[in-house]
Amino acid sequence: MGPQRGDLLRKELEISTFEDLLYHYPYRYSDRSQITRIGFIDPRTEYVQLVGTIINIIEEGEGRKKRLVATLYDETGRIELLWFQGAQWMKKSLRENTRYIVYGKLSVFNGVVNIAHPEIELQSSDTSIPGRQPVYSTTEKLRIRGITNRSFAKLTQALFEKIHQGDIIEILPDDIRSRYRLCSRYQALCWLHYPDTEEHERMARHRMKWEELFLSQMMIGRLRLQHTIQRGWHFEKVGDTFNDFYKNHLPFELTNAQKRVLKEIRQDTATGKQMNRLLQGDVGSGKTIVALMSMLLALDNGFQACIMAPTEILSQQHFFSIAGLLQEMGIEVRLLTGNVKGKVRKEILQQLADGSLRIVVGTHALLEDNVQFKNLGLAVIDEQHRFGVGQRARLWSKNEMPPHILVMTATPIPRTLAMTLYGDLDVSVIDELPPGRQPIKTIFTKDGQRAKVMQFLRKEVDKGRQAYIVYPLIDESEKMDYESLMAGYEQVKMWFNENKYRIAMVHGKQEAGERQRNMQRFVAGEAHVLVATTVIEVGVNVPNASVMLIESAERFGLSQMHQLRGRVGRGAEQSYCILLAGSKISEESYKRMKIMESTTDGFKIAEEDLAMRGPGDMYGTKQSGLMKFKLADIVLDSAVLEETRVAAQQLLTQDPSLSATPHQPLRYMLSQKGKESHWGKIS
């Protein structure tokens, strides 16, 4: 391939080596096993393969309309073949009265079928008719420059002539291959490009999917091993602070799930190893109190603890609730965010450095280099999917030894996804809501019912409750969305008499201070209704709010709606979630509405969401680069995923450092993969 086309391949498809080309798999195959007789061509078929003799090669037309025409015939009929480009070259290479195999796309011109730019080759006695041919993805730019699917096939054909069994090193150990009936790597790659049968294609795909998932499970497994040998602070005892809080200041009885999780954390931190635990609990399940009591455990053992939330509002909320709960015990808690500046900031930094401040709540500001702890023993990270992997890693550098890490998320993560994303972390689940909660009633309705919906909201507000009205704002810069938000705000003000009701609004374009003030008005109960975009999505806790109205609900994803719904139903009152959709919605949107109506189980919703949307956009995994599978699909291939997990665990038990000779190719491959992604830095 010449330098110019080579350049194009690199730019368009990131193919620059033989290896890249080998991994550019065909996405389908064209069937070249059938030969149609010319007299029996069905003009409705797309592609045909013909065998016949070429005659009458002539040039027609003038200038730009110049073309080469040839006739192909067999014993049943004849058809014209046309070339508009490269006519000169074709004219020289085609021979009359010679038999050819022709493959191409039918077009119909004035009621007559012909084929333009067919793939054509001589039928000599030793050309066997090719069977299935690979079809590769290309780009528009490549096609214009003449790099067609056919050129790709030629490239891969040439490639397979150059390479042999020994060039493609097997990375899966023999016993694993025979146990799981996997064909060799070389064989799989050959068959993936040029399968001679469907069975071989299936075997090839299965083998490479298996390999992809197995490699990911091996990386996770090794990371996990690293965690288990990473020494951590030893929390020896449950002391006075914890016990005093538990006996005298805890405002309610813990649920069994909360107790169980605390026990798990207690056990982790008593081993002398570093804890890396993911705490999953649906919205409202009471994760904060678990975080707080874990922090008290750190205090009892002479350590500091911090809790970090992704936004200013959330860290404020944590601060107020935690400081409130600990007030009577005389434990000082302070808030450190980007807005804390000057003298106060200096003072907090000083207190953290000398150890006199034992609990700090904050945002990313906690990660800044000048924030130094005397002895940070536990870091709690709330709503972790908002935090980048790298940011979490920075907590490591705050001490001579890494703190125990508790990551909390309200986004239930389907099991398959958790296995690939967080397989290295231990997982705790709060699968029980505090008692006395009434399940939220979810109602799906359409725009035509708006008046009724507004009446309902007013009735609730008159009972002393508060309501959220959320507008879609998928892209913060989208002008139309802002216009409809503003129009909605004006409308709401009309529905609610301004002398009697107070309406607050928050959205991403407001200046941070203004947004916080408006939010605070609602949190404090001064505003009855909060008109908002999804900035309120995560974590905000206003127990008095009993209605969540979602406008243009058809534009929201399932998990997002579930998160929003979780903002209500936090008190003892009956709460409602109203999904107000446009009059015309797609079948898929309708399905989402029905799922929302039928369940409040976050895990069920997450599974449905994953199945409907695929893992691509969920949980910000796209940027993380952890899930770049070419063939495997963690939803469709969950059985394979399970298999590879077991196989990876077994192998790592046998040979944790992969030092045995047969494991060297695998070890090398893993080290290469590790360089590509940021695996080593997770938590």
Least distance in angstroms from the C-beta of 602 to ligand ADP: 10
Least distance in angstroms from the C-beta of 652 to Mg ion: 35
Residue 304 interacts with, from ligand ADP, Mg ion, none (CB under 5-8 Å by kind): none
- Closest to ligand ADP by CB, 133 vs 288, is 288
Q: How far is CA 39 from the centre of its chain?
A: 52
Least distance in angstroms from the C-beta of 523 to Mg ion: 14
The residue count for binding ligand ADP (CB under 6 A) is 18
Residues 6+ apart with CB under 8 A from 521: 502, 504, 527
H helix or E strand, kind and range, residue 107: strand 98-109
Scanning the structure block, which residue is given the tokens 């214009």? 144
Candidates 182, 572, 151, 603; CA nearest to 411 is 603
* Under rule CB under 5 A, residue 539 binds Mg ion: yes
Least distance in angstroms from the C-beta of 365 to ligand ADP: 21
Residues 244-263 that bind ligand ADP (CB under 6 A): 252-255, 258
Least distance in angstroms from the C-beta of 381 to ligand ADP: 13
Q: Give dist(CA 306, CA 285) in Å, integer.
A: 21
- Closest to Mg ion by CB, 414 vs 539, is 539
- Closest to ligand ADP by CB, 491 vs 541, is 541
- Closest to ligand ADP by CB, 209 vs 287, is 287
Q: Give dist(CA 18, CA 286) in Å, integer.
A: 54
Contact (Cβ atoms closer than 8 angstroms) between residue 263 and residue 294:
no
Planar angle of CA 311, 313, 319, nearest 5 degrees: 100
Least distance in angstroms from the C-beta of 286 to ligand ADP: 3
Residue 289 interacts with, from ligand ADP, Mg ion, none (CB under 5-8 Å by kind): ligand ADP
Contact segment (CB under 5 A) with Mg ion among 29-37, 152-160, 492-500, 538-546 equals 538-546
Contact (Cβ atoms closer than 8 angstroms) between residue 177 and residue 184:
yes
Q: Give dist(CA 80, CA 70) in Å, integer.
A: 6
Residue 50 tokens read as: 């013909």
Least distance in angstroms from the C-beta of 287 to ligand ADP: 3
Least distance in angstroms from the C-beta of 255 to ligand ADP: 5
Contact (Cβ atoms closer than 8 angstroms) between residue 466 and residue 524:
no
Q: Give dist(CA 189, CA 23) in Å, integer.
A: 8
- Closest to Mg ion by CB, 562 vs 592, is 562
Q: Give dist(CA 572, CA 569) in Å, integer.
A: 7
Q: Quick check: helix, strand or coil at residue 279?
A: strand
Q: Give dist(CA 582, CA 572) in Å, integer.
A: 32
Least distance in angstroms from the C-beta of 133 to ligand ADP: 55
- Closest to ligand ADP by CB, 171 vs 254, is 254
Least distance in angstroms from the C-beta of 282 to ligand ADP: 7
The residue count for binding Mg ion (CB under 5 A) is 1
Candidates 557, 642, 635, 558; CA nearest to 604 is 558
Give the single-character DSSP code of 44: T
Q: Give dist(CA 10, CA 12) in Å, integer.
A: 6
- Closest to Mg ion by CB, 52 vs 539, is 539
Beta-bridge partner residues of 605: none
- Closest to ligand ADP by CB, 552 vs 575, is 575
Residue 286 interacts with, from Mg ion, ligand ADP, none (CB under 5-8 Å by kind): ligand ADP
Shortest Cβ contact with ligand ADP: which residue?
Answer: 286
Give the single-character DSSP code of 273: B
Q: Quick check: helix, strand or coil at residue 65?
A: helix
Least distance in angstroms from the C-beta of 149 to ligand ADP: 52
Q: Which string of x and - marks every residue 271-300 that binds ligand ADP (by CB under 6 A)?
A: ----------x-xxxxxxx-----------
Q: Give dist(CA 479, CA 209) in Å, integer.
A: 42
Torsion of CA 671, 677, 679, 683, to 10 degrees: 160
Q: Give dist(CA 370, CA 568) in Å, integer.
A: 38
Scanning the structure block, which residue is given the tokens 């000082």? 332
Q: Quick check: helix, strand or coil at residue 231?
A: strand
- Closest to ligand ADP by CB, 212 vs 312, is 312
Q: Of the candidates 130, 239, 434, 674, which one interacts with ligand ADP according to CB under 6 A?
A: 434
Q: Which string of x and - marks every residue 539-568 that binds ligand ADP (by CB under 6 A)?
A: --x-x-------------------------
- Closest to Mg ion by CB, 195 vs 539, is 539
- Closest to Mg ion by CB, 310 vs 377, is 310
Residues 348-367 that bind Mg ion (CB under 5 A): none
Residue 385 interacts with, from Mg ion, ligand ADP, none (CB under 5-8 Å by kind): none
- Closest to ligand ADP by CB, 216 vs 258, is 258
Residue 304 tokens read as: 């500091």
Shortest Cβ contact with Mg ion: which residue?
Answer: 539
Q: Quick check: helix, strand or coil at residue 566?
A: coil
Interacting residue ranges for ligand ADP, rule: CB under 6 A: 252-255, 258, 281, 283-289, 410, 434, 541, 543, 570
Interacting residue ranges for Mg ion, rule: CB under 5 A: 539
